[in-house]
Structure 1
């Protein structure tokens, strides 16, 4: 991984890409979504502050666990722009997602534990399937397959 000398306070998009491992196109996308920001030089080239490396790492880690970009953008908006975010700043943001991640883990555990049953029976019955219809939530709407009918409308 290329090192950035301490005296360099701004990075080109190529340097940011090489250092963060994110493609240039991904960095442009992140910027278009308000996840990172840059300034433009007189020659209209992007320049990123060094703390953008941490922001990109945060975005990529959050994406890997399934956090939507809109949620990531809201979290990054809470970080200070006048200084590099601290460990405490990042801890505060990630703590807010703990419940959501715990629920996703529980859903994945249910999927893992019941996937063989669904594949084994082959029916994917909305009446009894613990994956498509946990706790028979759709049974309250009446008999029959309601999801397919509702989706077609």
Structure 2
């Protein structure tokens, strides 16, 4: 099925299949995004979903944010800052990505730290190592309970 011609001109309203094909996500992902409040659709009299064409940019925004490690909750919060749930613009992306920059920098530092210590350290505690000469001599942090201790800054 091709794009649906609805009031507002050709391609103004898309079926779920059209959106899935054009956005590169599955229909089930679209349904999930909708349940999570990330995108919105209207329903036909036959209860079929219809999307405004602008949803494609919103999905691109969601997918890009996910690729850089932003959680769906943070993406939903960010999209919620847009007036009348409109489609994000380049200015919106610049503003929101600046907010996420500090978190990304923190994660980059964590990964660099992990890469440097990967051979000798696995987070002190995550496998109940008796001694970690790097950060946990005499298993001092093992008394704090199970799990890694040095993954966060």
Q: What TM-score results when the alignment is normalised by the length of structure 1?
A: 0.75
Q: How big is the shift at 1:82?
A: 7.0
**In the alignment, what sits opposite 2:63?**
60
Matches within 5 A, 1:1-20: 7-20=10-23
Distance 1:32-1:144 versus aligned 2 partners, 3 A rule: closer
- Specify the SS of the correspondent of 1:10: strand
**In the alignment, what sits opposite 1:71?**
74
Distance in structure 2 (CA, Å) of the matches to 1:90 and 1:79: 11
Name structure 1 gaps, 5 residues minimum: none
Q: Report the more deviating stretch, 74-83 or 64-73.
A: 74-83
**In the alignment, what sits opposite 1:28?**
31
Distance 1:84-1:4 versus aligned 2 partners, 3 A rule: farther
The 8 Å contact of residues 3 and 19 in structure 1, kept in 2 or not, is answered as no
Distance in structure 1 (CA, Å) of the matches to 2:85 and 2:47: 23
Among 125, 143, 146, the alignment partner of 2:144 is 146
Q: Higher strand share goes to which structure?
A: 2
**In the alignment, what sits opposite 1:90?**
93
Q: How big is the shift at 1:61?
A: 1.4
Distance in structure 2 (CA, Å) of the matches to 1:4 and 1:95: 37
The 8 Å contact of residues 3 and 10 in structure 2, kept in 1 or not, is answered as no
Residue 101 (1) aligns with residue 117 (2)? no
Distance in structure 2 (CA, Å) of the matches to 1:89 and 1:4: 29
Q: Higher helix share goes to which structure?
A: 1
- Specify the SS of the correspondent of 2:117: helix
How many residues in Structure 1 have an aligned counterpart in Structure 2? 138
Distance 1:118-1:84 versus aligned 2 partners, 3 A rule: closer
Distance in structure 2 (CA, Å) of the matches to 1:85 and 1:11: 19
**In the alignment, what sits opposite 2:151?**
none
Q: What TM-score results when the alignment is normalised by the length of structure 2?
A: 0.75
CA RMSD of aligned residues (A): 3.1
